[in-house]
Amino acid sequence: MGTILDSFTWKFLEKLGQLVEDEVVMTLSVKKGIKSLMKNLEFFRAVREDAEALAMEDPWIDSWWKNMRDVMFDVDDIIDLFMVHSQKLLQPPRPVCCNQLRFSSFAKFSFDHMIAKRIMNINEKFEEIKMNKEMFSLERTTRPQVQITIVDRRQTSPVDELEVVGEDIRRAIEDMVKMTVRNCYDNRSTVFGIQGMGGIGKTTLAQKIYNEERIREKFQVHIWLCISQSYTETGLLKQAIRMAGGICDQLETKTELLPLLVDTIKEKSVFLVLDDVWKSDVWIDLLQLPFERGLNSHVIVTTRNLDVLEEMHAVYTHKVNKMNDCDGLELLMKKSFAPNEQRRQFSDVGHQIVKMCDGLPLAIKVVAGVLSTKRTRAEWESIRDSKWSIHGLPKELEGPLYLSYNNLPPELKQCFLWCALLPSNFGIRRDAVAYWWVAEGYVTKVHQYSIHEVAEEYYHELIRRNLLQPKPEYVDEGVSTMHDLLRSLGQFLTKDHSLFMNLKNSKALSNLRHLGIGNDVEEIPTIEEQKCLRSLLIFDNKNFKIIHKDIFRELKHIRVLVLSGTSIQIIPESVGNLLLLRLLDLSYTKIEKLPESIGNLTSLEYLSLLSCKHLDSLPASVMTLSNISFLELVKTGIDHVPKGIAKLQKLCNLRGVFESATGFRLDELQRLSNIQHLRVEKLEKAASTGAFVLKNNLHLRKLSLCCTVGVNTHDKTHYQINEIERIQQVYEILSPSPSLLYIFFLGFPGLRFPDWLCSEPEHNMPNLGHMHLNECVSCSELPPAGQMPELLVFQIKGADSIVNIGADLLGKGVSSAKCITVFPKLELLLIIDMGNLENWSLNTDYLCGRSEQLVLMPCLKRLFLNGCPKLKALPEDLHRIANLRRIHIEGAHKLQEVDNLPSVLWLKVKNNRCLRRISNLCKLQDLLAQDCPALDQAENIISLKRLYMVDCPNAMQFRMCLLEEQELAVRVVTTGADGRDIFPDESLYN
């Protein structure tokens, strides 16, 4: 961790240099102290790289190390405090009376005296620490840098199948699936166990069983619960109810939730996974009774402790064994190299490394994360021969896990350790964690990129090194989790200054810098005693209801304050004392107002009020937060946004803003030159200024335009014609800059789309990659999206007035030297809830007569068609799309045939009442049909490998239309699924 201190000193010296350059007037003693501080920091850049490891092995060095780390935190605090006050001094003076001026001068002298004294104390500590010469290297090493390559993540890609390597796990999956299916009609709850040490692959095995198609067919309800050591009973019950299809948003107590769970699964077969169980009471005392009242429940439990399964009376337990060397080498190579990379020369050294991982898949993956950055045999040998552990680490954290951490660049080490502060199984959102890391000062600015873009690349680098695990349902890796063993490693390495508090670990240390509080903590500690605290994170703890009015007078060094999902109603005025606070997350709380003192938070960069439904107003002082970069007001009760947003020149993310009579006006957006993500709501209340307000926002990437449109059909078009004309004018002035990548229309009552979307959109938005037009209820024609050169994803949803889709959507295409291409880069097309759509054409004859060749949707891979009950037929020209691989058709009740789609590999048809025939899909491999009562004919689907038919009464006739010699896996079942999707997850298909 010496490199982390090295990273700190670089940043501290840069900050102090900035203060000197600003030429802030200061007393002689402050100047002298800062010069000494800079000299000491220069000296401390030479701290040994292995200082952290030595500290674990030697109690005397450990004491020295703690002092060293504490003094570095103190340096950061004093520099940031000084910078905040210096910025105030650099601001233009306000008119003041004589007494105020005298008081201001006294306050400045008092502050300078305090700063000088604290700097002197720090320098004295530095001199004491310097006495141990052995802790400093004679030669300064080159500090490793994080290699940042900003990747274009606009394109989506299918999620890779869960990592399954080796015959042992494949056999275990097959055995447990057969056993479960064989007993699925027993009218009782049955427990099966998966037991093994941490990191050995228990969860992966359970996931494969959970997603197996035979399990999906046999059980009506499928529930997955992660049982962290700090779970709450109400949280688990809510999750179970939601996954069973119930709604429980308004219920808060166990007494209310238990009967609802029983009612939700009543008379249904249930497949339940309890992942990572530490104590049997979660089943015996909480879940067993409600699940026994269902028709039948089969439970798979993963645990490290065999006693847990015995107490739960498991009828069968599969013990997960360590991976053999051959399978381990296959996994290592798969994770270290891209599919086509040459890897033969690494096999022997890779085999030696696998042996050092002792058969643990998690260990192999994290070591592969290190090796993936090495491309020579010598580098692999260096990793093999390096120090894989240090004395003092718990046994389960030694070796590969520590190696993976130790080989991180310093910035990534800090980010990894910070994630260990979050709750177990916490969904780490890329957008949020980037701001958290920036607020902590962990992110180093890289030329040409914003600091938040750099932070997002840190996040993706941790995923690439297998230190964060992306959740498979997010194709862009936008949400991830941290494995419990890696989380334990991070918590062990930071145990002297950071704490995640739960029922088991509730004793707060003195001099604590970071504190996370789990949702199972019933009695919140006296936080004001932690005067050195830099981060306080409380997620979803309903016991946290009151903030003492003076608590924030003591937490002077706090940078990150997260109170998301707590029961607090009042934020005290003392919050204005948090001069270093950079991130404040009050989302999903019950707060009713914000204090005026929030305007004193001059360092604040992030303020989230998402879903604060009891908050009905904002104080005017919010508009004085000159450093604010992220402001979220979505789903609040606010009915007035104060005027003054235009003064917030550093705003990058503004979500949920809207016009009000004496407050915010759309023309303020013209002055937000750094805005990247903008969501404007309640546009039905806005007034047109006549001037384009977004044309000069050259960094704008994502734009959401929202009108309030009713859910029910009769509520959707309740606007008068004069109101509709005004709304259309408002949308016209919101013409975006050419930098736009994403656009979302969320409710638009206009009769026609704005000109900038209909007239040459390829010039207005040449870089647009995603377009979502949702609930555009009165538009009868679509914009010419086919002539947009970079469009990747296009969604039309709830456009009730559209009867025909044709040339209006295709437009004139994109011209090149030899051809005209319609939708040249489109990969995903979604047509959803189009209740009146009758005809859809892809006919491009109107473009004929030119010498160029016509190309239609050359990149389209997926078509999703859902909720179009009047659509009579698929477009005749759909067969011309050469790369169309997957089609999902649901709720198209007039559609009778799916025909002539030569490139399609995967087809899902569900709840299509009149669909009778599927023919001429010569490459089709997977066909999934459900609730299609008329489907009985098939022709020329000769490549079919897997056929699933659920609740299709003519399934036998359909099967007889297929060739007898076809090698075909057939699943034909009648379950009464009532519309529930029981197929395997689509992401499991290649």
CA 564 – CA 588 distance, rounded (Å):
6
Place of tokens 């903030």: 547
Alpha carbons 729 and 721: distance in angstroms, whole number:
13
- What phi and psi, each to the nearest 5 degrees, are found at residue 246? -90, 170
DSSP code of residue 283: I
Scanning 303-423, the segments in alpha helix (DSSP H) are 306-311, 325-336, 347-356, 361-371, 377-385, 400-406, 410-419
Counted residue by residue, the chain has a size of: 990
**Model pLDDT for residues 355-397, shown as the tens digit of each residue:** 888 888 888 888 888 888 888 888 888 888 887 877 778 888 8
- Name the burial class of residue 38, with classes exposed (0-12), middle (13-18) and buried (19+) by CB atoms within 10 angstroms of its CB: middle
d(CA 299, CA 193) in angstroms, rounded, equals 8
Q: How confident is the model at residue 564 (pLDDT cuts 50, 70, 90)?
A: very high
How many Å apart are CA 918 and CA 922, to the nearest integer? 11
pTM of the model: 0.79
Q: How does 637-650 read in b/e, with b if 16+ C-beta sit within 10 Å?
A: ebeebbebbbebee
What the block records as the tokens of 242 is 């939601």
User: What does the alpha-carbon distance between residue 976 and residue 663 come to, in Å, rounded to a whole number?
Assistant: 55
Among 49-53, 81-85, 468-472, the range scoring the smallest mean pLDDT is 49-53
Taking a C-beta distance cutoff of 8 angstroms, is the pair 615, 591 a contact? yes
Of 957, 962, 958, 929, whose CA–CA distance to 943 is shortest? 962
Among 453, 415, 451, 432, smallest CA distance to 627 is for 451
Report how far residue 478's alpha carbon sits from residue 377's, in angstroms, rounded to the nearest whole number: 33
- Give pLDDT, residue 303: 93
pLDDT, tens digit, for every residue of 261-295?
Answer: 888 888 788 899 999 898 888 898 899 888 887 77
Q: Which residue has the tokens 């979604």?
A: 830
Mean pLDDT of the chain: 83
Whether the pLDDT of residue 856 is over 60: the answer is: yes
The pLDDT of residue 102 is: 39
For residue 163, the model assigns a pLDDT of 54
Residue 27: its pLDDT value, please? Answer: 57
pLDDT per residue as tens digits for the range 9-31: 767 777 776 666 655 545 556 77
What pairing do the DSSP bridges indicate for beta strands 428-429 and 479-481? antiparallel
The DSSP code for 508 is: P
Residues 6+ apart with CB under 8 A from 935: 909, 912, 915, 916, 917, 918, 929, 949, 952, 954, 955, 958
Phi, psi of 278 (to 5 degrees): -105, -30
Q: What is the pLDDT of residue 29?
A: 62
For residue 261, the one-letter residue type is L
**pLDDT score at 132:** 65
State the Cα–Cα distance between residues 434 and 452, nearest whole angstrom: 6
Would you state the pLDDT for residue 107? 52
pLDDT (tens digit per residue) in 722-744: 888 999 999 999 999 999 999 99
The span from the CA of 762 to the CA of 812, in Å, is: 11
Residue type present at position 107: A
Q: In whole angstroms, what is the distance from residue 240 CA to residue 265 CA?
A: 10
Among 928, 938, 934, CA closest to 971 = 928
Is the predicted pLDDT of residue 837 greater than 90, yes or no?
yes
Q: What is the pLDDT of residues 908-927, one digit of tens each?
A: 999 999 999 999 999 999 89
- For 298, residues 6+ apart whose C-beta sits below 8 A from its C-beta are 180, 183, 184, 189, 190, 192, 219, 269, 270, 271, 272
Structure-model confidence comparison of residues 958 and 101, the more confident one = 958
61's CB contacts (< 8 A; 6+ apart) are: 51, 54, 55, 132, 135
Are 594 and 570 contacting, i.e. CB atoms less than 8 angstroms apart? no
Percentage of residues of the chain with pLDDT beyond 70: 85
* Average pLDDT estimate for 808-827: 89
At residue 98 the predicted structure's pLDDT band, cuts being 50, 70 and 90, is very low
Query: β-strand 819-822 against 814-815: which pairing, if any?
Result: antiparallel
Nearest 5°: phi and psi at 439?
-60, -30
| Helix/strand/coil for 181 | helix
Banded pLDDT at 622 (limits 50, 70, 90): very high
Q: How far is CA 163 from the centre of its chain?
A: 21
* CB-based burial, 805-831: b 16+ in 10 Å, e otherwise: bebbbbbebbeeeebbbbbbbbbbbbb
Q: Which of 103-117, 215-229, 453-467, 521-535 has the lowest mean pLDDT?
A: 103-117
Strands 221-226 and 514-517: unpaired
Give residue 237's identity as a one-letter amino acid code.
L
pLDDT in tens, 436-450: 999 998 888 887 788
Please give the C-alpha separations between residue 61 and each of 64, 522, 946, 975, in angstroms, as whole numbers. 5, 38, 64, 67
Please give the backbone phi and psi of residue 561, each rounded to the nearest 5 degrees, phi first. Answer: -130, 110
Q: Are 156 and 792 in contact (CB under 8 A)?
A: yes
For residue 928, give Cα distances in angstroms to 214, 371, 908, 914, 944: 13, 41, 5, 16, 11
State which amino acid sits at residue 418: W
What count of Cα atoms within 13 Å lies in the side-chain half-sphere of residue 273? 21
Question: How many other C-beta atoms are found inside a 10 Å radius of the C-beta of residue 592?
Answer: 15
Report H helices in 45-97. 51-57, 59-90
Map residue 714 onto helix, strand or coil: helix
Q: Tokens representing 261?
A: 């769970």
pLDDT digits (tens, 9 = 90+) for 135-155: 665 444 444 555 555 544 433
Residue written as token pair 């399934």 = 955
Lowest mean pLDDT among 244-258, 427-441, 774-788: 244-258
Residue 660: pLDDT band by 50, 70, 90 thresholds? confident
Instruction: Look at 897 and 157; give whichever has higher pLDDT.
Output: 897
- Which residues, 6 or more positions from 401, have their beta carbon under 8 angstroms from its beta carbon? 199, 362, 363, 366, 485, 486, 489
Residue scoring higher pLDDT (186 or 215): 215
Nearest to residue 634, comparing CAs of 703, 682, 575?
682
Residue 510 confidence (pLDDT) above 70: yes
Q: Could you give the CA distance from residue 717 to residue 777 in angstroms, rounded to a whole number?
A: 7
At residue 115, the 3 state secondary structure works out as helix
